[in-house]
Chains A and B, each alone.
Chain A
C-alpha cells in the first residue's frame, strides 16, 4: 500500500510539469489569432494529418536515410576504431588528421556534399555518415586503449586465438564506450537528417517544416517541429532500452566491484 502510494507520488512529480505546460500552451493559444502561434488544437490535428497522409512520402524516407546513415556510421566507426585502437603507432600517426576532420561541423559539409552527390538520398546519408561516425570511432579507440593491460596479458599467456581475443575480449570490454559513442551519433544523426532536408530536398519531415514555414502555414510548421521532437525523443528512449539490454552484464560486474552499490 505504502509503496504504491510512494510510486504514484513519484510518478506525479515526474509528470505534473509537462502536463501543466501542455495545458498552459493549449489554453493560452486557444483563442490565439497570432500568425506565429496558432492554437495547439489545430497543431495537433495537423500532426494527425501529416502522420496519416504523408507517412510513406516523407516520414519513411527520413527514417530510412537516418537508419542507413547510422548503420554505416557504426560499421565504419567500429571497424576503423578497432584498427586504430589495436595498432597504437597507426593511431598516433592519424590522430591529428582525425582531430581536424572531426572538428568540421557536419552541416559545413553540406555544400561539398551537394557538389559530390547532388540532391537525393545519397547526399543525406553521406552527410549523416560524415557527421555522426566520429563519436563511434573515437569512443571505440578510447574503449580499446582503456582495456586493462592485465586482461590483455592473460589473454596472451593463454594464447587465445586472435579472432576470439577480438570478439570475446576486446569488443566486450570496449562495448560500454562504443555504445556511449553510438548514443551521441544517434542525436547527431537526427540533427543532420533535418539539416540535409532543409537544403535542396523534396521530401522528409524537415522538408515539410521548411516548406510550410515559407508558405506561412504555421500550424503545419509547428506540427512538423513536434514530430521532429518526438522522433528525437523516441530515438533516444529506444537507444536507452537497447543500451540497458546490451550492457546488463556490465552493470552487474560493476555492481559487484562496488560492493553492490549502484
Chain B
C-alpha cells in the first residue's frame, strides 16, 4: 500500500515533466525557425504577454464579463431545465410527446443561433446569456428526464405504500436517484456554456475575453493572441476541475463514488 502514493507522485512528476519538455520544445522550435516566426510566437514571448495581460485591469474586466454571462446562463438553464426534466421524466405522455421536438432543437448547432440573437439583442451580455441558456438547457433537461425514468420502480412503489406526500417522494427519492444524471447534465452544460460564451465573443463581437483575443489577432499581435488562447484553456481547465470537485462532493454518498474512493 505504501507504493500507491509513491506511484501517484511518479505520475504527477512525469505529467509535469511532459509539460516542461513540450514548452521547451516550443521555445526551441520557434528559436531555430522550425516553427515559422510569422505565425508562431516563441513560448517565452507568449508567456511574457500572458503575464503582462494578468497585470492589466482591462483583461480582468473582460474575463469578468465572460464569466458573468457564463454563470448567469448556466444558472438559468439549470433552474429551468432541472424542474422541467423532472416533470418530463415523471409524466410518460409528456416525455414521449416532446421527444422529437427536443431531439431536433438540441441538435441545431447552437452557434448558428448567434446571428438571430445578435439581431434581436445586439452584441450585449443579454445576447450571450440567451445563447448560453439555449445551448445549455438541453443536456440538463434530457439527462434529468433520463435519471428520473431510471429510478427504481420498487422505491417509488415503497414510497406510495408508505403514502409519502408527492413533495417528499420528489425530495427523498426522485431527486437523489436522478442526481448523478443531473450532475452529468450540468457538467456537459458548463462546458457548452463556456464554448458558447467564447463563441459569442469571437463570432458576435460581444464584450469579453474572446473579443479581446480577436482584437489582438486582427491587430496582428501574435504573442497576445496566443496568450489569450492559453488563458481561455486555463479557464476551461478550472471549470472542468471545479465541476469534478462539485460532483464528487455532491455524490459522496453514491455507490459509484464510494467504490472509487475505496
Binding site for B on A (CB under 8 A): 10, 13-18, 21, 36, 89, 92-97, 99-112, 114-116, 187, 190-191, 193-195, 198-199, 206, 209-210, 213, 221, 224-225, 228-229, 231-233, 235-236
Q: With A115-B217, A228-B108, A233-B107 in contact, is A13–B237 under 8 Å at CB?
A: no
Task: Add 11 more A-B contacts to A104-B229, A105-B194, A198-B111 (CB < 8 A).
Answer: A10-B96, A92-B11, A96-B18, A97-B15, A103-B234, A103-B236, A104-B236, A108-B198, A194-B111, A199-B203, A228-B109
* Nearest CB on B from A78, distance (A): 21
Contact across chains for A191 and B236 when beta carbons are under 8 A apart: no
Contact across chains for A108 and B19 when beta carbons are under 8 A apart: no
The stretch that binds A, out of B115-123, B144-152, B251-259, is B115-123
Q: Which residue from chain A places its CB closest to the CB of B108 in the assembled complex?
A: A229
Task: Find chain A residues with CB under 8 A from B110 CB.
Answer: 191
Complex Cα–Cα for A163 and B193 (A)? 42
Contact across chains for B109 and A194 when beta carbons are under 8 A apart: yes
Offer 7 A-B interface pairs, CB within 8 angstroms, sorted by A: A13-B93, A97-B19, A103-B236, A105-B232, A221-B115, A221-B116, A229-B104
* Nearest CB on A from B141, distance (A): 15
Tell yes or no: B199 within 8 A of A by CB. Answer: yes
Contact across chains for B97 and A17 when beta carbons are under 8 A apart: yes
Task: Find chain A residues with CB under 8 A from B32 CB.
Answer: none
Contact of B226 among A112, A190, A191, A195 (CB under 8 A): A112
Tell yes or no: B233 within 8 A of A by CB. Answer: yes
* Nearest CB on A from B24, distance (A): 13
Between A13, A106, A213, the greatest number of chain B beta carbons within 10 A of the residue's beta carbon is seen for A13
Task: Find chain B residues with CB under 8 A from A13 CB.
Answer: 93, 96-97
* Nearest CB on B from A209, distance (A): 6
Tell yes or no: B84 within 8 A of A by CB. Answer: no
Contact of A106 among B96, B116, B195, B239 (CB under 8 A): B195
The dominant DSSP class at the A interface is helix
* Nearest CB on A from B238, distance (A): 8
Contact with A along B189-216 (1 / 0, CB 8 A): 0000011001100110000001001101
Q: Which residue from chain A places its CB closest to the CB of B225 in the assembled complex?
A: A111
Task: Find chain B residues with CB under 8 A from A94 CB.
Answer: 15, 18
* Nearest CB on B from A242, distance (A): 16
Contact across chains for B210 and A108 when beta carbons are under 8 A apart: yes
Contact across chains for B199 and A107 when beta carbons are under 8 A apart: yes
Task: Find chain A residues with CB under 8 A from B232 CB.
Answer: 104-105, 108
Task: Find chain B residues with CB under 8 A from A229 CB.
Answer: 104-105, 107-109, 112
* Nearest CB on B from A132, distance (A): 12
Contact across chains for B233 and A104 when beta carbons are under 8 A apart: yes
Contact across chains for B19 and A14 when beta carbons are under 8 A apart: no
Contact across chains for A209 and B14 when beta carbons are under 8 A apart: no
Tell yes or no: B240 within 8 A of A by CB. Answer: yes
Complex Cα–Cα for A198 and B118 (A)? 13
The 5 closest A-B CB pairs, nearest first, are A103-B236, A111-B217, A213-B115, A104-B233, A229-B108
Contact of A209 among B115, B226, B240 (CB under 8 A): B115
Q: With A92-B11, A100-B233 in contact, is A195–B120 under 8 Å at CB?
A: no
Contact across chains for A108 and B14 when beta carbons are under 8 A apart: no
Tell yes or no: B31 within 8 A of A by CB. Answer: no
